[in-house]
Structure 1
Amino acid sequence: KLPPIEKFFEQCQLTDIVRERFMTGNPTKLMYEILNRLQEYCFPMLDHLNDDIDHLESAIFKGYEREMVKKILIVRRNIVNFRKIMQAHKNVIHKLIDKNTKYFIPTTINNYYSNILEQTKDIWDILNNLKETIEALHSTNESLISFRLNDIMKFLTVISVMIIPANLIASIFGMNAIFMPFVKGVYGFWVILGIMAFILLTLTIVFKKKKWL
């Protein structure tokens, strides 16, 4: 259903003045009124898309980039569909003007449809701006996700590197060798644990200085 068209024909049914104005005589005025109302109905939808993009932009930079992936794709799809519709609409308007002598009175159609053409260009320009904005947001969001994934991978790599020396020490002292220092001592366990802790602390300090942690 198209609310502006429904409202227009309801007005024609309820009001004699409106009905006589558009339903009698030259069809140019009726066609113009229908197209004009449809195009005016586009602007609230464009405002809604713009609000959606503003919301996405603020959410992305608040740390919700993962949650925004699907929403960005939905808005992007809506803009693409809107552009497809407007492209077909532009072609129809141009054909109406090019073939005006066949269906309409040339002088009247030029007067009426110049406004339609201007509105069509305005809508198309807004859609182009929205398309560029959502593509930039999509690229920014992907970059932020990649950056966070790289941070996670770096952190996990550093943790793995820190655990390797402890595993190596545990493996060495776990061998069934004849002579193994600290193993049979009273405080052997705590000495080995202290060595592991010292190595971990040293690696932590080194990684902190290099800003890897």
Structure 2
Amino acid sequence: MARKLRPSPKILTKPDNEDDFYHEPGTIPGTIIIPTDASPPEMTLIDYSTGDVIRKEIKTPEECADYLDTASVSWVEVQGLGDEDILRRLGKVFDLHPLVLEDIVNLVERPKIEEYEDYLLIICRMVVPKEKRYGFYSEQVSLVLGKNYLLTVQEEPEHDCLEGVRARICNNKGIIRKRKADYLAYSLLDAIIDGFFPVLELYGERIEELEEEVMVNPSRQTLQKIYQVRRELLQLRRYIWPQRDAINSLIRDGNELISEDVRIYLRDCYDHAVQVMDMLETYRELATGLMDVYLSAVSNRMNEIMKFLTVMSSIFIPLTFVAGIYGMNFNTDKSPYNMPELNWYWGYPMCLAFMAAVAFVLVFIFWRRGWFQNFSQINSDYKI
């Protein structure tokens, strides 16, 4: 079947000095902005049926054109957006609307579903935990679902969670090779949604560590960590919320490219998205509670420090008074208000003994009132 070709959209390059990815006001619809640091595309074709599978690397989009109208299911993977010519030729081979190419390359696109005459566009967000302990990689994944084919476009060839689906196809595991392209699209969506769980598990462990740190030894670095966790959880929420709505629209609205059987599977995918949302909300509340606990811990510690300083001042105030009285330089030998202890042989040691006795009585009184019970923690905890 011959495909009607649409005019290729204008393709621009994103300037190096732009930090955000956006279209300038008045930009022509269908304009494509390519990031200057985009990875060169790597293309893979997986064509499968019940009894056979073909997986090969392709150099040009035209190599997959013969597979698109066959009875088998063709999965064309494009990983990387750094080649302007490849994007143009992909649009011609798959007969893509200019706005579809714009959405695919616009890396800050909100997850959504767009219906066209012969295919369905699904924009979603994929997250993968980093090799180090905390953090995650995030990239946009675009799915173009046709009757017997599926085109997926990713930002880069690394850090994805779709290898399990590829292995199931090549090793004939499950029922994926017995189904059509819509089941393949569901499998990818399910893998992308499930990819949030390992990331959230790491954040659960991180929040537990922050809880212990807040209770034992809170510091300014602890506050920065809490803010960072809250920002990253908010970012994950912005990814999964519209993604959940997009899956719900596939279930609710229906489309001739999505069969009733696959729509049932999508309900399970929707349940997973809701579960991710619940976990995110729980972790966000815990992070907010950590902020309150941190402020309370710092306030309590400051109160203990002020109590310690007050007690020490209270002990030394009467001693300072006595020392001030006897430190006045007045000769009282001829004064009617004589201070005989100034010339007394034992006057100096008796004055020191009196001052020590006053200090001991004050310490005993404060101890009986329980004012010394938390002072042992102040020196070990106060490390800001």
1:94, 1:2 → 2: CA distance?
A: 27
Aligned residue number for residue 45 of structure 1? 199
How many residue pairs match? The answer is: 206
Number of the residue aligned with 2:298: 145
1:43-84 deviation per Cα after TM superposition (whole angstroms, max 9, x unaligned) = 1111111122223334444x2233643333333333222222
Q: Which residue of 2 aligns with 1:136?
A: 289
Amino acid at match of 1:140: V
Residue 212 in structure 1 maps to residue 366 in structure 2: no
Structure 1 residue runs without a partner (length 5+): none
Structure 2 residue 221 is the aligned partner of structure 1 residue 64: no
- Contact conserved, 2:233 with 2:284, CA < 8 A, in 1? yes
Report % sequence identity: 25
Q: What residue number does 2:131 align with? A: none
- CA shift for structure 1 position 8: 6.1
CA RMSD, Structure 1 to Structure 2 (Å): 3.0
Show the counterpart of 1:78: 232
Letter in 2 for 1:28: D
Mapped contact 2:233–2:280 kept (Cα < 8 A): yes
- What is aligned with 1:199? 358
Deviation at 1:196, TM superposition (A): 1.6
Structure 2 letter corresponding to 1:174: G
Superposition deviation, residue 207 in structure 1: 1.0
Question: Counterpart amino acid of 1:162?
Answer: I
Q: Which has the higher contact order (CA 8 A, sep 6+)?
A: 1
For residue 184 of structure 1, report the CA deviation from its aligned partner: 2.9
How big is the shift at 1:116?
Answer: 1.5
Distance 1:68 1:105 in 2: 48
Amino acid at match of 1:54: E
Instruction: For residues 17-49 of structure 1, give each alpha carbon's deviation from its aligned partner in whole angstroms, at most 9, with x where no partner exists.
Output: 79xx68xx9653333222111111111111111
Q: CA deviation at 1:153?
A: 0.9
- Does the CA-based 8 Å contact 1:72-1:134 persist in structure 2? yes
Q: TM-score, normalised by structure 1?
A: 0.79
Which of 322, 329, 333 is the equivalent residue of 1:176?
Answer: 329
Residues 16 and 49 from structure 1, CA distance in 2 versus in 1: closer, same or farther, beyond 3 angstroms? closer
**How far apart, in 2, do the equivalents of 1:16 and 1:146 lie?**
60
Q: Give the counterpart letter for 2:286 in structure 1.
A: T
Note closer, same or farther for the CA distance 1:131–1:186 as it changes in structure 2 (3 Å cut).
same
Conserved? CA contact 2:218–2:298, under 8 Å: yes
Q: Distance in 2 between matches of 1:169 and 1:141?
A: 43
SS at match of 1:4: coil
The one of 101, 104, 121 equivalent to 2:274 is 121
TM-score w.r.t. length of structure 2: 0.47
Structure having the higher helix fraction is 1
Which protein is richer in strand relative to its size?
Answer: 2
- Residue ranges of structure 2 left out of the alignment (5+ in a row): 1-157, 333-338, 373-384
Match of 1:4? 161
Q: Which moved more, 1:43-52 or 1:106-115?
A: 106-115
Comparing 36-45 with 187-196, greater Cα deviation is found at 187-196
d(CA) in 1 for partners of 2:261 and 2:218? 53
4+ long deviations beyond 6 Å: none
The amino acid of 2:244's aligned partner reads K
The reply on whether 1:89 has 2:243 as its aligned counterpart is: yes
Moved more, 168-177 or 73-82: 73-82
CA distance in 2, matches of 1:83, 1:38: 14
CA contact (8 A) 1:28 1:108 kept: no
Instruction: Please give the per-residue CA displacement for 1:130-149, whole angstroms capped at 9, x wherever unaligned.
Output: 22233333323332222222
Deviates more, 1:202-211 or 1:132-141: 132-141
CA contact under 8 A between 2:165 and 2:188: conserved in structure 1?
A: no
Distance 1:181 1:161, change over 3 A: farther
2:161 partner SS:
helix
- 2:165–2:187: 8 Å Cα contact kept in structure 1? no
Measure the CA separation in 2 of the matches of 1:119 and 1:192.
79
Shift of 1:171: 1.4
